[in-house]
Each structure stands twice: as C-alpha cells, then as structure tokens.
C-alpha cells in the first residue's frame, strides 16, 4: 500500500492499520474503511492500493460527552444500539440524535463515495461498530477487529 498524500508522516497509525487490513481482505477493490472509535475516520484506499485520505469527525463518546459538558442540564447518556427514531425521554432523545445522526452522516458519505467510485466496499470497524452497524442503510461489512487484523497483516509483511 502507498500513501500519496501531502504529509504521509501525519497519518495516524490506527488509520494505516485499518487501511492495511482492508487491502489484505479486499484486494483489488476501492475501499471506504470507517473507523468508529474516539473519532470517526473515513479512510479511502483505491483499487491500486493507494491510501488517499478521507475525513475525521467526533466519535460517539465525544458527541455524547459534549452534550453534557457544553449544556447546562443534559446528562451523559451511555450508548446503546436499540435507539428509537423518536425519543420519548431525555436519554432516548439524545441517543436518537447522536447515534442516528451519526448513521445518517455515514450514509451520506457512503452515498457520495458510491457516486464517485465503482467496485466499492464499505467496512465499519472499531469499538462503536456494535452501536451503529444496524442503523446504516447502505450495504456494509462490519468487522470490529479490522484494525488488529491490519496490524497482523503488517507484521506478516515485515517478517517475511
């Protein structure tokens, strides 16, 4: 895999590991590899194994904690996967806004990448995959451990 971006030394090790895992398990495909951890990272690797970049936005916990921190009365609400569209109390209103809002954000990005690239796979990975995978409407693969599989793939190449 190559990284023809402006400053390759600034690419996070987590993003490189996710990209390596994607290239290993989906060779010859355009890939949108979405890391769902502290931040949401969208990592695009084209079918030529070039990591082209992507985007970074706040992750699930960051969003949930910011509502408590930046408002006078909203509580911290722990994440869960069973989220109603229409919240019926403060906690479910927060979860609907944050989790479904993130799912709609991901669907919007996936739609934009789908319009631009063919032979395309989307993989969700990371600790918050369990909370979001069922809410994303686009066709995806969900592999919470892709980062670890990518680290393994890197070690196999480095030790060959």
Q: 34 - beta bridge partners?
A: 42, 124
> Active-site residue among 14, 89, 107, 145?
14
Whether 14 is catalytic: yes
In whole angstroms, what is the distance from residue 88 CA to residue 82 CA?
Answer: 13
In the sheet that holds 51-58, the strands lie side by side as: 51-58, 39-45, 30-36, 120-125, 141-142
Kind and range of the H or E element at 54? Answer: strand 51-58
> What sign has the CA pseudo-torsion 71, 77, 82, 87?
negative
The answer to whether 76 and 64 have CB atoms below 8 angstroms apart is yes
In whole angstroms, what is the distance from residue 100 CA to residue 122 CA?
Answer: 18
In whole angstroms, what is the distance from residue 123 CA to residue 34 CA?
Answer: 6
The residues assigned a catalytic role are 14
């Amino acid at each position: 895999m190559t990284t023809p971006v402006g400053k390759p030394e600034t690419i996070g090790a987590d993003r490189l590991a996710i990209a390596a895992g994607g290239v290993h398990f989906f060779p010859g495909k355009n890939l949108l590899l979405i890391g769902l951890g502290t931040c949401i990272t969208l990592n695009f690797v084209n079918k030529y194994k070039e990591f082209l970049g992507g985007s970074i936005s706040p992750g699930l916990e960051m969003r949930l904690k910011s509502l408590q921190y930046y408002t006078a009365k909203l509580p911290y609400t722990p994440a869960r996967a069973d989220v109603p569209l229409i919240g019926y109390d403060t906690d479910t209103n927060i979860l609907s806004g944050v989790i479904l809002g993130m799912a709609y954000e991901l669907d919007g990005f996936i739609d934009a990448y789908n319009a631009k690239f063919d032979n395309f796979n989307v993989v969700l990975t990371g600790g918050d995959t369990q909370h979001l995978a069922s809410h994303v409407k686009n066709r995806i693969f969900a592999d919470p451990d892709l980062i670890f599989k990518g680290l393994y793939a890197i070690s196999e190449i480095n030790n060959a």
